[in-house]
Amino acid sequence: MKSRVLFTIMTAGILLLSCKSETKLTQYSAIYQEQPATIYIAPLNDFAMRHIMREMDDSLYNNSVSTAAMQLYLTAAAPLTVNGYYVPGPLVSAQIAASETRTGKQLRSDNINDYYTDLGIDAILFIDLVGWTQTTNAWTVEVEYILRSTHSNSELMNVHVNATKHLITDYKGNPQPLPEDIDFAEKFGCDLETAQRCRLVETLNNFVLKDLPTGKRARQHKTERYISSHPEFFYLRIKKDGSVEMLNNPEL
């Protein structure tokens, strides 16, 4: 009996130790140190646009991808706001971006202290849409999130995600939309392919940006420091039933 209990305890211990991941305090130590209150989302850097420039005639695909990119940009604010940060809305952000003379690449490397001194913004979130890949029953999008401080010009967060959405296929192997996708398409007046892409990027934004430490406005501010956080690079799998699964290795 004793040996059995010991064996169970040992196994549980090994399992717990193997499951241990980094806490938010270690993963986002720079954010806890600087405690930004206002985050401005810079215009999206869409690498998929290169494909659009090459294939000008494929308007269906191009419209779908560009709408999904816009949705990726627009839905990034909601999880940050829920986490207690002040995020300027899309129209205000557009006004800020219109008065900016530097390119996106320069903003990522240059001194951006003027955003703090002139606009009172503490950090800038850069979103890179690396690209889309598509198989018969899955959409995959690769996105990189970079959060840069306007006080110290240092990177507060850098997360690279490869998200895949698995689709239900019919007996011929054609992908079938979920009821939620149909609702989205009806609501936004777009085709089903665009709806599926838009819902994928929205889920991705929610999953990645809700993991950030809570801001000063949130009630949970600093209470979630020892909760485990996401790694800097991971694969996200959105299953057929809509549940989300995080993987370090896509083959698992």
Partner 1 sequence: MKKMRNTLYVFALVVLTGCSGRYVGLPSEQVLRYQTTPTYGNLYTLATAYAQTINNALRADTLHPGMYADYGVALALLGHEKEACYMLNTEMAAFPESKGTVERIKKKLLPVMQYNDYVPPRDTIDMQQLSAWALVPNEAARFIPNAASIIDSTDTARIRQQNPVDSIQMPIKLTANQKREKLAYEQAEAERQKQARIDSIADVKKAQAAEKKKAKAQRKEAAKAKEKAKKEADKEKIRIAEEREKKREEEKQQRAAQQNEAKKQRAAEQEAQKKQREAERELQKQQRAAEQEALKKQREAERELQKQQRAAEQEAQKKQREAERELQKQQRAAEQEALRQQREAEKAAAVDSTQTNQQ
Which residues form the interface with partner 1 (CB under 8 A)? 37-38, 40, 66-67, 70-71, 73-75, 77-78, 81-82, 86-92, 95-96, 99, 118-121, 170-171, 186-189, 217
The two tokens of residue 103 are 């390119």
CB of 26 to partner 1, least distance (A): 27
Q: Which of 230, 215, 226 is nearest to 83 (CA)?
A: 215
Phi, psi of 247 (to 5 degrees): -130, 145
CB of 155 to partner 1, least distance (A): 22
Residues 6+ apart with CB under 8 A from 79: 205, 206, 208, 209, 210, 212
CB of 66 to partner 1, least distance (A): 7
CB of 217 to partner 1, least distance (A): 8
Select 110 or 186, whichever has its Cβ closest to partner 1: 186
Select 170 or 241, whichever has its Cβ closest to partner 1: 170
CB of 178 to partner 1, least distance (A): 14
**Interatomic CA distance for residues 16 and 110, integer angstroms:** 43
CB of 15 to partner 1, least distance (A): 26
Select 22 or 191, whichever has its Cβ closest to partner 1: 191
Select 217 or 222, whichever has its Cβ closest to partner 1: 217
CB 188 within 8 A of CB 195: yes
Q: Which of 47, 98, 52, 46 is nearest to 73 (CA)?
A: 46
**Interatomic CA distance for residues 46 and 43, integer angstroms:** 9
Select 81 or 228, whichever has its Cβ closest to partner 1: 81
Select 25 or 82, whichever has its Cβ closest to partner 1: 82
